[in-house]
Amino acid sequence: MIARGATPQRSAFLSAFFTLVGCHGLHVTAGLIWLVVMMAQVAVKGFRASVERRLLCFALFWHALDIIWVWLFTVVYLMGVRP
Amino acid sequence: MGIYTIGLALAVILTATSFWVANTSLLWAPGIPLGLAVLAIAQMGVHLVFFLHITTGPDNTNNVLALAFGVLIVFLVVAGSLWIMTNLNDNMMPPPELMNLHMQH
């Protein structure tokens, strides 16, 4: 997209596009790291109470991220492709 | 069929419908953004119910209240931002000659 001239400076839509998708991507990256950490904890420590609580927190974060993506995708891509 | 499978099926159906709505020429074009918003909110509801287990049960009151409070805060932030930015746009637009000067850089 950048190579085709669609840079954040081009328009308000593209500024918002890169900010929103970029921030979401950072959160997903952090979530993936968290996911690997939780997998390691389950493998090493097993399902003890503290690990289950952390898993619950991670599930909350991950599904909330998913809900935000539904809205983001609708606004940025589905509505963005309309003329 | 597990609750997650039902949720996944509903989410896939709603997503596929959204893609169809965004790309079809069969629908009245000005209504499409509203239709997409409705589909998105429906899918957010599916995620809340099937993945985050928000229910109407008495043991879930705290979660529902926390969700309602979160929605209120998000509404205030979004509506407040739009309110302020509309005001700025109306009252602080530079005059046309200034705009042209700016464009020449």
- pLDDT one-digit tens code per residue, B29-53: 888 999 999 999 999 999 999 998 8
pLDDT score at B101 = 58
Q: Which residue of B has its CA nearest to A82?
A: B22
Percent of all residues in chain B with a pLDDT value above 90, rounded to a whole number: 59
End-to-end CA distance of chain B: 63
pLDDT value of residue B99: 67
Overall domain count for chain B: 2
Residues 6+ away with beta carbon under 8 Å from B78? none
Residues B15, B44, single domain; the answer is: yes
Q: Are residues B63 and B101 in the same domain?
A: yes
User: pLDDT, tens digit, for every residue of A24-73?
Assistant: 999 999 999 999 999 999 999 999 999 999 999 999 999 999 999 999 99
Mean pLDDT estimate for chain B: 88
Question: Are residues B39 and B7 part of one domain?
Answer: yes
> Cβ contacts (< 8 Å) between B47 and chain A: which residues?
63, 66-67, 70
Which of B37, B53, B69 terminates a domain? The answer is: B53
**pLDDT attached to residue A83:** 56
Put simply, the answer to whether A78 touches B47 (Cβ < 8 Å) is: no
